[in-house]
A and B are shown apart, each in its own frame.
Chain A
Amino acid sequence: MSVPDTPSSAAALAGGAWGDAVIKFGNSFGAVAGFLAILLLVFFVAGRARGRLARPLAIAVFLGPAVLLLLVGLVVPLLRTVYLSLRNDDGTRFVGGENYGWAFTTESVQEVLVNTLLWLVIAPLAATGLGLVLALLVDRMRGQAVYKSLIFMPMAISLVGASIIFKFVYESRGPGQSQIGLLSQLAVALGWDDPPNWMLSQPLNTFLLMAVMVWVQTGFAMVVLSAAIKAIPDEVTEAARLDGAGGVRLFWYVTVPMIRTTVVVVLTTVMITTLKAFDIVRTMTGGNFGTQVLANEMYSQSFVQFNTGRGGALAVILFLAVLPLVAYNIVQLRKERGVR
């Protein structure tokens, strides 16, 4: 049987791909150029203004785009989400608080809320604590730049990439088969003949998923905390040493209080990342086996099961959970700025 895969059709395909790339490049280039042109025009007009109009116009020109983007990108979607959360699955009928009632009374969603809470407490504490310890240890080592880069490296990997790496680590085979996952192989090497199927062992699997987040975020915590530790004036540590403080006491009574605000900022930043993290759960278990979290359930309700009402309600709950963290973060940053 002849296959009509002539060189000419292959060439046409390749040409198509090139043409496509050129068009896409041209389009994005044109878009950027057009945007710059409009920006220049606006600046030009604003720059021409004189007299009483000058100041308000300048404010409008510089603040306008930011406010507009904030409205389009945050405020309007937020209002729309709240609106959708009060309506039925395809947004055609008002149902009041039904979706919120569903969220708090359904067994599977309660499990999701508990899991999210666990993530929120454990993952940031572990990442920040580990980061702090590493910052202290690595700061004293020779060639610290190398170690720091290595520890910081996972930060450069996307959460999906990190999840795929850990998926291989947690891979499991039944007894009698050769283990291909690192964790199972380690368990076997340590004399555990029949290690469990890690991803299926509740509640262990939730903590194993958190390990991915900790692995990625520890480097970030370490780098920021290490900078804060280095910023502690030498006189302070010197004085404390003269007073007889050393080791653990120096750490608890001098170092930690001096970097307290930084610790809080790191902790809340990781918390917010954790609340939003659905990629890990989505990649590793798809939310099955009792590992579901709020962000992933929201995505699943809205975009897999097409229930925008329930998805919206979960999004609002998530938003309300993040809000105090963000507010606290801002207050802390303000305080810190006040001190300096």
Chain B
Amino acid sequence: MTLNPTVSSRSSRRRLIAVPALLAALALTAACSNSSGGSGDGGGGGGQSLSGDCAKYQPYAGHSGTTVTMFASILSPESDNLEKSWAEFSRCTGIRISYEGSNDFESQLPVRVAGGNTPDFAIIPQPGLLAQMVKSGKVVKPPAGTVANQDRWSPVWKTYGSVNGTFYAAPMSANMKSLVWYSPKSFKAAGYEVPKTWADLMALSERIARAGAAKPWCGGIASGTATGWPATDWLEEVVLGTYGGEVYDQWVGHRVKFSDEKITTAMRTVADWMQNPAWVNGGYGDVKSIATTTFQDAGAPLLTGKCLMLQQASFYKAQWPKDTRIGPDGDIFAFHLPAVNPAIPSPVEGGGEFLTAFASRPEVQAVQNYLSSSEWASSRVRTATGWVSANQGVDKSLYTDPIDRLSADALTDPGATFRFDASDMMPAAVGSGQEWKSLTAWFAEGQSIQKTAADIDAAWPQ
């Protein structure tokens, strides 16, 4: 179709205007009819009552034909499991959840919110980013149903979904970071035992290094623009396991500085562990190679026996090749990283993802209520392995995977010292800026502990 504004006859001009307008109208009708027709088949009309399989979704009914948008960092195939977990809910209630995943989520979300292209939901993995979003004034407080559902999580989780004492976002998932991945097969062949204390762990590392066939540890901290985060985890594990929750909280709030003797001592412990040239970096090279090895690649030498242990979170399970047998007698399994100070009871460092709403339309609140319920959590656990909830309402027997089970047990253990990832809670200038940068330089350039600590302290917002 050519558009020529200098056409002479008036009638042909009028026709030209009419064509696009008609097309626009057609396109709009097509779009509308499809969105309602495609998903509303299970529910029926307005004040619908759901029966049969769908009866359990009755509390969320009445919004058939609506769509809510969700933006997160979870990519396929992980996100496919997520979509499957709420497929039945969508089919029964007629609320379509339009999911979009981006591996650039952390930087894109603020841009989208500031630019007015706000999604209805964002799954935010860092309390720091949540606070940032709340500050923008666009985050909507959750409905009563979501607040009630929150009671199935241990109280500490509520504080992580809160900003300045106000509860905003319910956790969807939890992951356990305090794990050491190892190869039961290699351990058995060499006669090594899973260590129960930090001293045992260090003695075992020394023994493996002496044996000479392999390095005890693997490690990688490269992760694109987020390079450095695994190193922050190592430091956090050691701080939590050496001094316990109270010092950890003070450190997160900068009442204990990085240059404080407590933290520099912890950094020394990390250096003796992950920067020991005799202990790392199996399969890749020297200590510095940790800085250029991606965290995804870091564990691969465990399978070839070039290294025997890797400290990584429970979600690392997704990195093993499909045919790897994971279990206490398999190719790969994990044990709980012991506390540096045996007096600290079962330190668990963890992370989680928080469902944050930017809209308060009824269908958005229905989805929010559903996704914060233990029914949804159970549905997600049943869909596929690799997902753990700290929701007490989830039946533990649903976890078919030994790693998930191990993590769920630790995360819901009332006696554990659970703390959220520290760098995720520090201000972005530190937690996703200077600390990543400085710890990377600490590994890559052999920068001194004093300078590393001082640089991070200097970046703390005044």
Contact = CB atoms under 8 A, between A and B. Distances in A.
B90 interface: yes
A168 interface: no
Contact of B20 (A12, A37, A46, A288): A37
Interface string A161-204: 00000000000111101000000000000000000010110100
Name which of B87, B106, B400 has the most chain A CB atoms within 10 A of its CB: B87
Nearest to A107: B455
A282 B400 CA distance: 39
Contact of B428 (A47, A177, A305): A305
B225 A9 contact: no
A197 B5 CA distance: 63
B10 to A, nearest CB: 10
A303 interface: yes
A241 B224 CA distance: 56
Contacts of A307: 429
Interface stretch (A28-36, A68-76, A147-155): A28-36
A305 B432 contact: yes
14 contacts: A1-B382, A3-B382, A5-B383, A33-B23, A40-B16, A41-B17, A44-B17, A47-B5, A174-B286, A175-B285, A202-B445, A286-B224, A288-B440, A304-B428
Contacts of B23: 29-30, 33
Interface stretch (A18-26, A135-143, A211-219): A18-26
B20 A34 contact: yes
B27 A30 contact: yes
Contact of B96 (A16, A29, A33, A290): A16
B124 to A, nearest CB: 14
Nearest to A174: B285
A16 B445 CA distance: 50
A19 B87 CA distance: 15
A287 B433 CA distance: 11
Q: What bracket does the count of chain A residues touching chain B fall in?
A: 35 or more
A252 interface: no
B283 A89 contact: no
A157 interface: no
B5 A200 contact: no
A289 interface: yes
B123 to A, nearest CB: 18
B344 to A, nearest CB: 32
B417 interface: no
B177 interface: no
Contacts of B106: 304
Interface string A294-306: 0000011001111
Contact of B88 (A4, A43, A300): A4
Interface of A: 1, 3-5, 8-10, 12-13, 15-16, 18-20, 22-23, 26-27, 29-30, 33-34, 36-37, 39-41, 43-44, 46-47, 89-90, 108, 172-175, 177, 197, 199-200, 202, 282-283, 285-290, 299-300, 303-307
Interface string B97-115: 0100000001100110000
A172 B27 contact: no
B419 interface: no
B291 A288 contact: yes
A33 B441 contact: no
Given A12-B87, A39-B3, A307-B429, 7 more contacts: A8-B91, A9-B84, A30-B27, A33-B21, A177-B285, A286-B224, A289-B445
B29 to A, nearest CB: 9
A13 B6 CA distance: 49
Contacts of A287: 437
Nearest to B429: A305
Given A89-B461, A286-B225, A23 B34 contact: yes
Contact of B35 (A19, A41, A286, A305): A19
Contact of B291 (A37, A39, A43, A289): A289
Given A36-B3, A37-B21, A40-B3, A15 B225 contact: no
Given A19-B34, A44-B17, A289-B291, A305 B87 contact: no
B39 A16 contact: yes
Given A30-B28, A173-B285, A303-B107, A197 B88 contact: no
Contact of B17 (A27, A40, A202): A40
Interface in B417-438: 428-429, 432-433, 437
